[in-house]
Amino acid sequence: MGSRAFGLATPGSDTDRRGVYVAPTPLFWRLDKPPAQVDGPAPEQFSWELERLCELALRANPTVLECLHSPLVEHADEVGRELLALRGAFLSRHAYRTFAGYAGDQRRRLEAHRRERGEVRWKQAMHLVRLLLSCRGLLRTGELSVDAGAHRERLLAVRRGEVPWDEVTGWIARLHEETEAAAARTPLPAEPDRARVEDFLVRVRRAYV
């Protein structure tokens, strides 16, 4: 994930890995449940237990949805391949609230840091713009693409601090307006397909008894 999945990697970029694991079903019968998420074992690696990932994706968590739609997949077993085939079932109009809400929080933090420190966190500014581009595309088309595509060079210029801050904030404001307009006529369903996701999860739990 991260800059490599977004098509924004530089020579110094880390390799962020995100994964999914299935805990054996009998572990859920105990008072002490298996962990919902784990760090490692490699640096910059983080994994969710399948049920936790499904819960977050159904709530339109931006990080989880973008992980499911990453073009970079190192390994997927049979369950993983079925999960990837199911990823459209998680998409819904709730994405407008979660993506735009997260972007709003990030902008407030950027503005606060600029006021307090007199400097701009350009890398965070780049990722804020990229997130809004991703959200706008999702709401317009009903499909989530995380690759920066045609916006790559301009986004990297933002990261390098080559784009004036006023121009960056203007871009952010326009994207917020365009995202709001797209939300009003999005082809996305009002709710995710919870029944399909639950059927998948139940079948996996039965297979791992």
In this structure, the answer to whether residues 111 and 178 fall within a common structural domain is yes
- Residue span of the structural domain in which 86 resides: 3-91+192-207
pTM equals 0.90
| Nearest alpha-carbon partner for 178 in 144, 138, 122, 123 | 138
Distance CA 202, CA 51 (A): 10
Structure token pair of residue 196: 């399909």
By the 10 Å C-beta count (0-12 exposed, 13-18 middle, 19+ buried), 26 is classed as exposed
Q: Is the pLDDT of residue 8 over 80?
A: no
* pLDDT over 70 percentage in the chain: 95
Please give the pLDDT value at position 3.
66
In this structure, the answer to whether residues 125 and 166 fall within a common structural domain is yes
pLDDT in tens, 75-93: 999 999 999 999 999 999 9
Please give the pLDDT value at position 116.
94
In this structure, the answer to whether residues 11 and 87 fall within a common structural domain is yes
The tally of domains found in the chain comes to: 2
Average pLDDT of the residues of the chain: 92
Distance CA 130, CA 175 (A): 10
In this structure, the answer to whether residues 108 and 152 fall within a common structural domain is yes
In this structure, the answer to whether residues 87 and 12 fall within a common structural domain is yes
